[in-house]
Amino acid sequence: LSIWASCTICTWVMAMAQPTILLTNNKKANVRWTVFGREQLKLYFIMGSQDMGGDLQAALNVLEQALKDGITLFQWREKGAGSLVGQAAEYEQFARDCLALCRQYGVPFLVNDDVALALKLDAEGVHIGQDDGDVAATRARIAHKILGVSAHSVEEVHSAAAAGADYVGLGPIYATVSKADANTPTGLVWLEEARAAFPSLPIVAIGGINLERAPAVFAAGADGIAVISAICRQPSFVAEFQQLAL
C-alpha cells in the first residue's frame, strides 16, 4: 500500500473505534489529547460544596490533594441541600475553580446533570441519572464529550449503552450517607450480573465503598470505584488506595 493509502486506512480505523477523543488544555502540557478508556474510571472522585459543609476553600483543597495523589476522573456534583444551586454566580465560579484544578493536573472534569454548564465551560463530559434527561438526546447535545449514565437494571444499562453512553455507574453497592435519595443497596451480585451481561462496557461502582471493600468490588467486575465521602472525610484515601495496587 502507498503511504497515503496506509494513512487513510489508519484514519478510518481510528474513527470506527469510537473512543471519546477530547482536546484538553493543560497548563503543564499546554495541549494534550485525552482518549477516554476504562482505566480512567479506576478512582473516580465526585464532589460538590455541600459535601464539605459549604466550605468552598476546603472543597478546593480536598480536590487538589486528591488530584495530586492520583484520582483518575472528577465529577462536579453541585446539588441538594447546602449546595450553591440558586446562586448562579457562585455556582459557576466554583465549577470553574474545580475545572482549573483538573486541567492543571490533567484529569478529566465531568459535570453532573447540568449539560448547559458543561458546554459553557467546555468540560470533558457529563454524567446523568435516569431522571436527568434522555440519554440519546444528551449524547447528541454534547457530541463527542464523555457521557456517563447511572443505571439500576440490565434494561437501563442496555438502553444507556445503545444510546451512546461511554460508561455506566452502578450502585449503590453498599449503603451510603452521601446521597439522601439513594436507592436500596444492591450488593455485589448486581455488579457481577452486569459485568457478565456487558463484558466490554466500562463500569464504575458507587455507594459505600471504602478501602476494605474496594478489592471485592474490583473482583466483581468493576473497572473502577466512584467515591464521595470516602475522600471528603478522609483526604488520605487516595494515597492509601494506591497502595492496594488494584
Helix (H, G, I), strand (E, B) or coil at 127: strand
Question: Can you read off the three cell numbers belonging to residue 231?
Answer: 475522600
SS3 24: strand
Q: Are 50 and 80 in contact (CB under 8 A)?
A: yes
The b/e string for 147-165 (b: 16+ C-beta within 10 A; e otherwise) is bbbbbbeeebbebbbebbb
Q: At what angle do helices 56-69 and 88-105 cross, to 10 degrees?
A: 20
Name which of 105, 15, 132, 225 is nearest 147 in CA terms.
132
Assess whether the previous peptide bond of 172 is cis (omega < 30° from 0): yes
Handedness of CA 124, 118, 46, 191 (dihedral sign): negative
Please list the active-site residues. Answer: 77, 150, 179
d(CA 36, CA 161): 15
CA–CA dist 201, 157 (Å, integer): 9
Dist. CA 37–CA 146, nearest whole Å: 10
